[in-house]
Amino acid sequence: MKKIVYLLMLIPFLGFRSFAQSAAEKAVATAVESFRKAMVDPDKAVLDKLTVEELSYGHSSGVVQDKQEFIEALTSGKSDFVSIDLTEQTVKIAGNAAIVRHILSAATNDGGKPGTVKLSVLMVWQERNGEWKLLARQAVKVP
């Protein structure tokens, strides 16, 4: 009987462990948050540091930008995020890559025209020299 009670007491602790983020997942989540902030207040150096040269940045409109085009659109104000909220985020590590999914809700001011957007986003991050960098991103509109 004591063994059963002991096992029942351990079950909640074992269950909590599965919900804990690994160090790599936390590092990726931190990189995603830094990226979110850099999109709201565009900083070329930060955006450059968080992305790889081979970046493929896909928009919900079907437009795909490389790293230079993506950074230029943000720093020039052509693409202007007033605020960005990320919800329902998941991070899965696969070797030196991470798959991030979330819902992005944002207020925009593209070309001086206020608007809002709600997107489902897939990001692929890659660890390079101990730092997580964005390799690819694709968004689709949420109905």
Give the model confidence (pLDDT) of 94-119 as tens digits. Answer: 999 999 999 999 999 988 889 999 99
Q: Are 134 and 36 in contact (CB under 8 A)?
A: no
Topology classification of domain 21-141: Nuclear Transport Factor 2; Chain: A, (3.10.450)
Tell whether pTM > 0.85.
Answer: no
Give the model confidence (pLDDT) of 34-88 as tens digits. Answer: 999 999 999 999 999 999 999 999 999 999 999 999 999 999 989 999 999 999 9
The domain limits of the chain are 21-141
